[in-house]
Structure 1
Amino acid sequence: MRYSIYVFWLLMLSVVALHAQQRPQYTQYIFNNYLVNPAISGIENYTDIKVGYRQQWTGIKDAPKTSFVSAHWKLGDEYLWKNALSLPENTDDPMSRNYMQNYTASPAHHGMGVIAVLDEAGPISRLDASLTYAYHLQMTDQLNFSVGVAAGISRIGLDVNALEFQTGPDQVIQNAYLSQIKPDLGLGVWLYGASFFAGASVQQVLPQKLKFTSEPIYNTGKDVPHYFFTLGYRLFLDEEITALPSVMVRKVSPTPLSIDANLKIAFKDRVWVGGSYRRNDSFSALAGINVSKLLNLTYSYDFITSDLSRVSNGTHEIVLGIQLNNVYEVMSKAKMW
């Protein structure tokens, strides 16, 4: 009986998780908003690749860990000149004040990309894989608006071998579903110019029921939509130093509204440092370096402010960026907010 109660609470906790934050959270999303908004597909003139790993709540056994890879690019062979996707003819730094003053919006174009995210927490794992598409419309000489869609699949798995019992497996576990595959759909919009961006997106648009066992009492899990709203603006402190404040609001019912405030300070577009604060959760330190015109590396550490700080040492996240077909040799992308 005691073991059945244990399994019952395990499955109930899984159901609670499946009704709340189901997608992984990131600290460095502000430098790769493509993870949450498909409308960014093809915003640069080259193929933008990101590979990242996040170890959340170190010190807690079976705490969430996330691995991801993403890549997106514009469609077509023609390189767009002197606009948001490339360097100007005089090879100004894309983050320089002069470039911003002479900014020209990119002509209308298409973009696409791919995303794969593996999120693991205890015995439960989730693999999301999507293809993305975006259309970028030139609204004015200095303003673009894009609309994007992400379509793919989600695989949710349960590793029963990770569950330990004193006297063998429970009957409920023996009847458990080890994996389930569901269709997935996301939508997004993105408004951007020389020094600002604003976006809105939603993940898990399609309603899906989730269950780990044939027992009807436990089959109340379901996918819920994840809503994201973000806004940012670039300020020049002098000719070589920029400040980039931004904010993201995240809503996943029935959990409380999540609000992030971020600040990045960039020096000569070569190195940068920053900070982030997530209400009632954590504050973070971030740093990055543009190693070359091909590679950039970023790292962040989250200091937990919730009750989890009693048992956890914090959260690590590291991301490697690769810029392929970078024919204009941009040190860092113009839209690396």
Structure 2
Amino acid sequence: MNRLIIISIFIIGLISENAYAQQRPQYTQYATNQFLINPAIAGSQNLDEIKIGGRVQWIGFQDAPQTVFATYHAPFKKMPFQTTMRQRGHHGFGAILIKDITGPVSQTSAHINYAYQHPFTSNLSGAVGASIGVLQHSIDMGKLNFQNANDVIIDRLIPNRFAPDGSIGIWLYSDKFYFGASITQIISNTTMFMPTGEREIETFDLKAHYFANLGYKLDIGPETSDWFIIPSVLFKSIRPASGHFDLNIRAQKSDNFWFGASFRQDDSFSGLIGFSAMQDFAFTYSYDFIISDIGPYSGGSHELTMTFKFKKKQKKIICPDSFWL
């Protein structure tokens, strides 16, 4: 597939005013890695957690988007476990590193995160969080072929551009449900440059991304069964677009095995499967079947995440459940 076609598709998504225009990477496995879209997750469990993953999008397109990411978060200043309304909260710290590549264009982001977790009861907690970081927008000039190497248009391209970035979020969670809301890329209106062909460039402004998601845990089978299902929904919007939603349902056996399906509005159907080994390592894989206009030309999208958990031996913190991680 011609490089110009895939870059043009990417640009249309970036500068569209009439459709949902995702400027940041999208994730099929958001329901098992909420920290990627909400900084309030940091430190919500009594363990250090590292997730490493990658996504290859639109198989069959030359120079299609590819994303790799790594996240880390942990609690600190933990308080003794109590079951009274006077239970003290604790702090969380985290970091996120993401690199997204589309042909000659790449975007690297690095953030540090802080959250305050506060238990309201033994089964209900809330959190607020924020992150701050930097975006690096790069163009590999060696991958661009200009008809006239002396064209003045080349001088307008900025091979590397940096911009400040940040996000904020809230998180409410219990042993039965979760609700989250967040805004990423809150430092918007920074102008970026992008090549769209052999002799043209386009500009686009960074826009804030709005997320809201809700999930509920439903026990299934007899009381002795450790199987449950988690239906969830994610709403996302970039103004002035009206927004899009993802629907997700996952069946899970304790913390050992899970499988599910997802629907992304106007884009794809997905299947996912995962397992955990010895409570310290988890593996999740998903495949997207594309239903948008590029579906007939694409072999779908693949996403893989590996999770490493390091349990704390110090004083315990309250975490009503971790089915939403």
> Distance in 2 between the 1:185 and 1:154 partners?
10
Alpha-carbon distance change, 228 to 105 in structure 1, aligned in 2, over 3 angstroms? farther
After superposition, the C-alpha distances for 1:3-42 in whole angstroms (9 at most, x for unaligned) are xxx99xx799748615631110000011010000000100
Per the TM alignment, residue 169 of structure 1 is displaced from its structure 2 partner at its CA by 6.0
Residues paired across the two proteins, number? 306
Distance in structure 2 (CA, Å) of the matches to 1:246 and 1:120: 29
Q: Is the 8 A contact 2:79 2:89 kept in 1?
A: no
2:115 partner amino acid = A
1:161 partnered with 2:158: no
Give the partner amino acid of 2:60: G
Deviation at 1:244, TM superposition (A): 0.6
User: Aligned partners of 1:219, 1:242: CA distance in 2, in Å?
Assistant: 48
- Gapped regions of structure 1 (runs ≥ 5): 1-5, 84-102
Give, in whole Å, the separation in 2 of the partners of 1:16 and 1:311.
18
Q: Does 1:38 align with 2:21?
A: no
1:74 corresponds in structure 2 to 75
Contact in 2 for aligned 1:276/1:284 (Cα 8 Å): yes
Deviation per residue, 1:133-189 (Å, 9 max, x gap): 001122234211110001011111111211123554643123311011111110000
1:121 corresponds, among 102, 109, 133, to: 102
- 1:304 equivalent in structure 2: 290
Given that residues 293 and 326 in structure 1 are in contact (C-alpha distance below 8 angstroms), is that contact kept between their aligned partners in structure 2? no
Measured after TM superposition, the shift of residue 125 of structure 1 is 0.7
User: How far is 1:123 from its partner?
Assistant: 1.6
Matches within 5 A, 1:285-324: 285-324=271-310
- Aligned counterparts of 2:122 and 2:301: Cα–Cα separation in 1: 42
1:233 and 2:216 matched: yes
Q: CA deviation at 1:292?
A: 2.0
- Opposite residue 32 of structure 1, the aligned amino acid is N
Query: Match for 1:232: what amino acid?
Result: G
TM score, norm. by length of structure 2? 0.85
Q: Distance in 1 between matches of 2:87 and 2:290?
A: 41
In 2 relative to 1, CA 13–275 (structure 1 residues): closer, same or farther, beyond 3 Å? closer
User: How far did 1:336 drift?
Assistant: 3.5
Distance 1:268 1:208 in 2: 44
Amino acid across the alignment from 1:231: L
Partner SS for 1:313: coil
Q: Which residue of 1 is the match for residue 64 of structure 2?
A: 63
After TM superposition, where is structure 1 displaced by more than 6 Å over at least 4 residues in a row? 10-13, 103-106
Aligned AA for 1:335?
S
Structure-1 separation of matches of 2:31 and 2:130: 19
- TM-score, normalising length: structure 1: 0.83
Once superposed, what is the RMSD of the aligned Cα atoms? 3.0
CA distance in 1, matches of 2:86, 2:40: 16
Other-structure match for 2:197? none
Match of 1:257 among 243, 254, 258: 243
Q: Does the alignment pair 1:17 with 2:14?
A: yes
Q: How does 1:153-232 map to 2 (within 5 A)?
A: 153-166=134-147, 168=149, 170-212=151-193, 220-232=203-215
